[in-house]
Homo-oligomer: A and B are copies of this chain.
Amino acid sequence: MKIAGIIVEFNPMHNGHQYLIQRIRKIEKPDIIIAVMSGNFLQRGEPSIVSKWLRTEMALTAGIDLVLELPYHYAVGHANLFAQGAISILSECGITDLYFGSESGDIASFYHTARHLRNEKSKLDLLVQEKLQQGYSYPKAYSLAYDLTHKNETKLLDLSEPNNILGLHYVKVIQEHHSSINAHTILRKGAQHHDQSPHTHTGFASGTSIRNALMNGDDFKSIADKMPNESYKILMRAVNQNQILGWNDFFPLLKYRLMSSSTEELASIYESEEGLEFRAMKAIKETNDFISFVSLMKTKRYTWTRLQRYCCHILVNVSKQKMKSFLAKPHPPYLRLLGISLQGQRYLRYKKDSFSVPLISNVKKSFEDLLRIDIRSADIYDMKTSYSEKKSKPLRYDQENQRFL
C-alpha cells in the first residue's frame, strides 16, 4: 500500500495546495492521502482565518481522505516542534510517503543539508550561541551560523525560505527516528509565501495574499481565481456569516487577559522568557490594536512570529507546566479526527487496531483532560463562530458523489 501524508494549514486552501494534492494523486497514485492540519491557531501565531471545521471541508473536497488535527502544542510551536508533532502523527497513521512543497524542489538537497547539519552540529551550536549573545533572535542566529558553515557547499538548501526550513525539519525528524517514511518535495510554483497581493503573479496566489484581500474587503472575484471552486464556496459561506477571523477579533480578549493577570501569572505562561512578560504588560497599556501591541514588544531578540505565538499562549492561557507535561508524553499522545472520506473510513477500519494511542472522534468526557488545551483554544475561537467544540463530530465526505454525509 502507498499511503501519502501531507502537513498543512489550509489558511485557506488555494490553488498551490490543490496542485500539490492533484500531483500526488495523479503521479504518485497513493491508496489514500492523509493530512495533518493545524487547528484554530497556526504556526505563525495567528488565529486561522476560518474555523478548522471549514478548513476540513476544504481539505475533503480537494481530495484528502483523512484530516487529523495537529494538537495546539505542536501547531503553535517553532519549526522543530511543529515538525516533530506532525511527523509523529503521520507516522502513527502509517504513511509510507511524505510530500511537501518547497522553494528548493530538490529532495536530495534536504537530505544533504540534514546530514551537513548533523556533521557540523558542534561547530554550528557554538556559532548559534555566539550570535544569540550578540542579541539576534534564534532563527536569525541559526541562519547566520548556517551561512558561516556552508561557504563552499553548493548543494545545501537556502534556509531563508520558509518552506525549505519546514521541509528540512520534516526530513531531520524522519532521520532522527530512523523512520522508513520516504520524503518527497515538490517545487512551489509562482507566488512566494508572503507575497501581499493576489494579482501580481501569474502563478499561484499565496494564503497571505488571499487573507489580505479578504481582510481589506477587496473584490472577492480576484480571490475566486486563486482557489479551488469548492473551497471558494466554503470561504464565501464564512464571509456571509461574518466568520472571517483574525487577531483583531481576539485582541480585546488578549488585552483583558493581560490587564487581569498578575506578573507571576504571566510569568508562568509558556514562552515567557527573559522578562518578556514585563514588556507585554507595559505594551498592552499603551495600545488598542494587535499590530501596535506586537510592534511595541518587538526587539531584535524576538521574531514577529515568536511574539505572535506568545500572544496565542497568553490568550489560550497555556502554562509552561502544561506544555512541559504535554511534551513529556509519547508523541503523539492521540490522534484527533476532523474529517474523513469513504476511502479514508475503510483505511481507518483496517488500521485502527494497530494504533498505539487513542483515536478521538468526539470530545467525550474521558478525553477532556488529554485534550484540555485543544478544547480550550477551540472554545475561545468559537466565541466568534457558531461551532461548538464539544458537539462537533468529524465530517464525512463521499468523494465519488461529491457530497458530505
Contacts and interface: CB of A to CB of B under 8 A. Distances in A.
A368 to B, nearest CB: 11
Nearest to A375: B259
Contact of A316 (B260, B265, B380, B390): B260
Contact of A376 (B260, B376, B390): B260
B259 A260 contact: no
A60 to B, nearest CB: 28
Contacts of A255: 383
Interface in A352-405: 372, 376, 379-380, 383, 390
A261 interface: yes
A317 B261 contact: yes
A253 interface: yes
Interface residues of A, number: 20
Given A252-B383, A255-B383, 18 more contacts: A252-B253, A253-B253, A253-B256, A256-B257, A256-B380, A256-B383, A257-B257, A259-B376, A259-B379, A260-B315, A260-B317, A260-B376, A260-B379, A260-B380, A261-B317, A265-B317, A285-B379, A285-B390
Interface of A is mostly: helix
Nearest to A256: B253
Contacts of A259: 376, 379-380, 383
A66 B363 CA distance: 57
A261 B372 CA distance: 10
A177 B298 CA distance: 54
19 contacts: A252-B252, A252-B253, A253-B253, A253-B256, A255-B383, A256-B257, A256-B380, A256-B383, A257-B257, A259-B376, A259-B379, A259-B383, A260-B315, A260-B316, A260-B376, A260-B380, A261-B317, A262-B317, A262-B372
A259 B379 CA distance: 7
- A-B residue pairs, 4 tightest by C-beta: A260-B317, A259-B379, A253-B256, A259-B380
Interface in A232-260: 252-253, 255-257, 259-260
A376 B257 CA distance: 11
Interface in A255-277: 255-257, 259-262, 265
A316 B383 CA distance: 20
Interface string A310-350: 00000111000000000000000000000000000000000
A152 B22 CA distance: 91
Interface centre among A257, A315, A316 (most CB of B within 10 A): A257
Nearest to A316: B260
Nearest to A285: B390
